[in-house]
């Protein structure tokens, strides 16, 4: 009977355990940073060019991102890669602390709207622009004026 052994280049059990621990560590660090910045997984995935489901797997420690993706993730989430990889003697570089947060677009609702808008073509954007201008004009027309409410207009305060 012939015995089949693992190929010489197959990863060892210890190597797989180390990789799994690293994936969990990176995922935990990325999730904490994302939540601290009140971002959704979709927000982060879009900013780094990943599918949302894949980014979710990274956060759950089920996979490790490639080095270029890890770099982008660290930039977007403002995480020091040394801290994410749990390297000894890590300290956040000064450039990370001094730069403005990339893609800071406001509330989660605004980020979802912007994500949707980026998927529209020029013609759709033009139509939406007309609608948005119309809505803005209507909202200014609907604001009650002092004359409409029966309240006297308040002028400047004099001493």
Write down the domain spans for the chain. Answer: 14-87, 104-143
When the pLDDT of each residue in the chain is averaged and rounded to a whole number, the result is 78
d(Cα 78, Cα 92) in Å, to the nearest integer?
Answer: 9
Q: What is the pLDDT of residues 43-80, one digit of tens each?
A: 999 999 999 999 999 999 999 999 999 999 999 999 98
Give the 3-state secondary structure of residue 154.
coil
What contacts 64, CB < 8 A, 6 or more positions away?
19, 22, 23, 26, 58, 70
Going from the C-alpha of 48 to that of each of 27, 54, 78, 136, 157, the distances in angstroms are 15, 11, 13, 33, 53
Mean pLDDT calculated for residue range 125-142: 86
- Asked whether the beta carbons of 45 and 86 are under 8 A apart, the reply is no
The per-residue pLDDT for 96 is: 47
- pLDDT tens-digit profile of 94-111? 544 544 455 555 778 888
- Would you say residue 113 has pLDDT above 90? no
To 10 degrees, the CA torsion angle through 63, 69, 73, 75?
A: 160
The pLDDT confidence band at residue 12, using thresholds 50, 70 and 90, is low
Query: Could you tell me the pTM of the whole model?
Result: 0.54
User: What is the full DSSP assignment across 93-137?
Assistant: -HHHHHSPPTT--SSHHHHHHHHHHTTS-HHHHHHHHHHHHHHHH
**14-87 under CATH 1.10.260.40, yes or no:** yes
**Distance from C-alpha of 54 to C-alpha of 72, rounded to nearest angstrom:** 15
pLDDT over threshold 90, residue 40: yes
**Angle at which helices 13-36 and 41-48 pack, to 10 degrees?**
110
Taking the alpha carbons of 103, 105, 108, 111 in that order, is the dihedral positive or negative?
A: negative
């Amino acid at each position: 009977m012939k015995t089949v052994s693992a190929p010489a280049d197959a990863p060892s059990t210890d190597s797989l355990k180390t990789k799994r621990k690293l994936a969990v560590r990176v995922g935990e660090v990325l999730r904490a940073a994302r939540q601290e910045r009140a971002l959704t997984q979709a927000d982060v995935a879009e900013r780094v060019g990943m599918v949302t489901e894949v980014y979710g797997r990274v956060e759950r420690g089920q996979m490790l991102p490639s080095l270029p993706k890890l770099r982008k993730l660290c930039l977007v989430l403002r995480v020091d890669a040394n801290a994410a990889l749990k390297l000894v003697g890590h300290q956040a570089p000064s450039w990370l602390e001094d730069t403005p947060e990339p893609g800071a677009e406001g509330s989660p609702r605004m980020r979802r709207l912007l994500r949707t808008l980026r998927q529209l073509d020029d013609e759709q954007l033009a139509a939406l622009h007309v609608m948005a201008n119309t809505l803005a004009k209507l909202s200014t027309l609907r604001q009650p004026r002092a004359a409409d409410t029966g309240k006297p207009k308040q002028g400047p305060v004099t001493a």
